[in-house]
Amino acid sequence: MQPKENHCPLCGGENYCLAGTEQQYSCWCMTAKVPKELLKLVPHNMKGKLCICENCIEQYKANLQE
């Protein structure tokens, strides 16, 4: 299965990334702080190619606080 650019490599949901579009510099992902541990969960063939969605980032951070 080929991953879609606009989908999160972790959950498969929409990542709402604007990179590669005219609005790329206003994309939320340009300022997002993604924990290194979460980045390690991205499959090797998708690293550096797909953005993790905000929902996965927030859920990960929430789980750390529990």
Residue 53 is given by DSSP the state P
Give CA angle at 64 (59, 66), nearest 5°: 95
Q: How confident is the model at residue 1 (pLDDT cuts 50, 70, 90)?
A: very low
Put simply, whether the predicted model's pTM sits higher than 0.75 gets the answer yes
**pLDDT tens digit string along 3-50?**
567 899 999 999 998 877 777 778 888 889 999 999 999 999 998 888
